[in-house]
Amino acid sequence: MNFQLTQEQEMLVDAVRSFVSRELLPHEEEVDRADAVSPELAAQIRGKAIAAGFYAFNMPEEVGGGGLDYLSQALVERELSKVSWALHVFVARPSKILMACKGQQIDDYLIPCVQGEKTDCFALTEPGAGSDANAIKTRAVREGDDFVINGSKHFISHAGHADFAIVFAVTDTYEHNGRKRNAVTAFLVDRGTPGMTVRRGPKCVSNRGYHTYELFFDDCRVPASKVLGEVDKGWEVANAWLTAGRVMVAANCVGQAQRAMDLSLQWAADRKQFGQAIGSYQGVSFKLADMATQIRAAELLTLHTAWKMDQGSMTDGEAGMAKLFASEVLGKVADEAVQIFGGMGLMDEGPVERIWRNARIERIWEGTSEIQRHIISRELLRPLLR
Ligand SMILES: Cc1cc2nc3c(=O)[nH]c(=O)nc-3n(C[C@H](O)[C@H](O)[C@H](O)COP(=O)(O)OP(=O)(O)OC[C@H]3O[C@@H](n4cnc5c(N)ncnc54)[C@H](O)[C@@H]3O)c2cc1C
């Protein structure tokens, strides 16, 4: 097996790394304190990302995107995540499920998202349906050429910036193994559509400045032409993308862990107690050894999984393993980084407490650690259980 990155991949990593340190990192502290990104800064980052050719790097070349393979995408995600989501979200990765756009939807949604003229948000989770996404209660009922949507969503990232939401609603039910299941449809719902209200959600400890929103649908009427994919086939549109997204979350976790590691290493060398650098004590240096080892393992697992995705051989369980392992490694590494920094690790004057706070979300969104374990164990046991 060849573990060598190509020359293009090495150059891509260097370019994204310097973009992050030049254009994003200088704003991180101010954005975290203000819990907001100004519209000017958002537009500036978007413009510079477009000019640098990083915008929509996840989308295929034939629609104007960067056309990167999954391994290269994971490398870019690893670098971008060395700064808070509040900032790198403006180097946008439009929802890949927009590739299901057809006819006029291509010009109205897909292409403007790739070109940075429109932004989407992904609206699945509801107060009563988180891990159990099939339990959503938002309904869309067909009335002539329209669907009428009623219900609500919460925890919808970035909806305040989005021009439209990809909304999942129940359109039918069916029986599966004696249980009632929901058939779900995805809709493209424009901001400002009568009957849809967007409201800022509660404050989150992770990624200050990157907000979640609540969406309310009260007889919200959308034409049937806004169905993304096929009616009742919403999961088919969503699932492939959600699985790939987990590998990208794993790459994000590796990048954050590497940043925590670099900071810890420097601190261990600089900070003196009892007349010596604290890194000269095994109590500290062995932590560094464990952190580096865990990060290396998480990185190899993540990149190998991305590579398997490129080969078309990745399974859901393997994507789950990458997300589970990398997010849990990040949690441990961020916590050890605080320990190595001592009291300074908890002060908001440095980046360590921010990394520690930001790390926490990674074990929850895009499927919790428990749900990843469920996916992995189901895949292992399925051939054996009858
Ligand atoms: C900051 C943030 C941004 C988000 N952005 C988006 C977004 O843009 N769009 C979107 O649609 N959603 C989004 N989400 C929702 C996110 O995907 C959910 O929070 C996540 O799937 C977990 O759902 P829940 O929070 O309702 O927890 P629950 O599902 O209520 O789970 C609570 C606990 O129970 C455990 N649990 C549940 N079921 C099982 C089981 N079968 N076995 C073992 N343990 C179980 C969970 O692992 C967890 O520990 C976001 C969430 C947050 C916090």
Domains belonging to the chain, first-starting first, are 7-102 (1.10.540.10), 120-228 (2.40.110.10), 237-382 (1.20.140.10)
Q: What percent of the chain has pLDDT over 90?
A: 96
Is pLDDT above 90 for 386? no
Q: How far apart are CA 279 and CA 285, in angstroms?
A: 5
Type of residue found at 338: V
Ligand 1, atom nearest to 369 Cα: 47
Kindly report, residue by residue over 110-158, the tens digit of the pLDDT: 999 999 999 999 999 999 999 999 999 999 999 999 999 999 999 999 9
Query: Which of the four pLDDT bands, split at 50, 70 and 90, describes residue 1?
Result: confident
- Is 295 in contact with 329 (CB distance < 8 Å)? yes
Q: Which of 77, 336, 366, 370 is catalytic?
A: 366
Helices 316-341 + 369-381 axis angle, to 10? 140
Residue 295 has pLDDT above 90, yes or no: yes
Q: Is the pLDDT of residue 260 over 80?
A: yes
CA torsion angle 82 85 86 89 (round to 10)? 110
Counting from 1 in the atom list of ligand 1, the atom nearest the Cα of 206 is 1
Identify each DSSP E strand in the chain by its residue range.
120-123, 139-143, 146-157, 164-176, 179-190, 196-200, 212-223, 227-228, 272-273, 276-277
Is residue 50's pLDDT more than 80?
yes
Q: Of 168-182, 248-262, 313-327, which gets the smallest average pLDDT?
A: 168-182
| Distance from residue 135's CA to the centre of ligand 1 (Å) | 13
HEC readout, 339-369: HHHHHHHHCCCCCHHHHHHHHHHHHCCCCCH
Q: Provide residues with CB under 6 Å of ligand 1.
A: 122-125, 130-131, 155-157, 204, 212, 361, 364-365, 367-368, 370-371, 374
- Centroid of ligand 1 to alpha carbon of 237 (angstroms): 20
> What per-residue confidence (pLDDT) applies to 349?
87
Query: What is the reported pTM?
Result: 0.97
pLDDT classification of 2: cutoffs 50, 70, 90:
confident
Mean pLDDT over 219-229 rounds to 98
368 band by pLDDT with thresholds 50, 70 and 90: very high
**Quick check: is 230 catalytic?**
no
Q: State the Cα–Cα distance between residues 179 and 292, nearest whole angstrom.
A: 47
Looking at residue 306, its pLDDT comes to 98
User: Has residue 166 got a pLDDT over 80?
Assistant: yes
Which residue has a Cα nearest atom 7 of ligand 1? 156
- pLDDT for 241 beyond 90: no
Outline where 273-382 has alpha helix (H). 282-311, 316-341, 352-360, 369-381
Give me ligand 1 centre to Cα 184, in Å: 19
Identify the pLDDT of residue 270: 98
Residue 83's pLDDT band, with cuts at 50, 70 and 90, is very high
Q: How far is the CA of 186 from the centre of ligand 1 (A)?
A: 19
Tell me: the pLDDT tens digits for 371-384? 999 999 999 999 99
pLDDT mean over 324-347? 98
For residue 39, name the pLDDT band (cuts at 50, 70, 90): very high
pLDDT at res. 245: 96
Look up residue 124 and give its two tokens: 């699945």
Phi, psi dihedrals of residue 237, rounded to the nearest 5°? -70, -40
Q: Is the pLDDT of residue 240 over 80?
A: no
Q: How far apart are CA 110 and CA 95, in angstroms?
A: 9
Average pLDDT, the chain: 97
Which is it for strands 276-277 and 272-273: parallel, antiparallel or unpaired?
Answer: antiparallel
What is the reported pLDDT for 134? 93
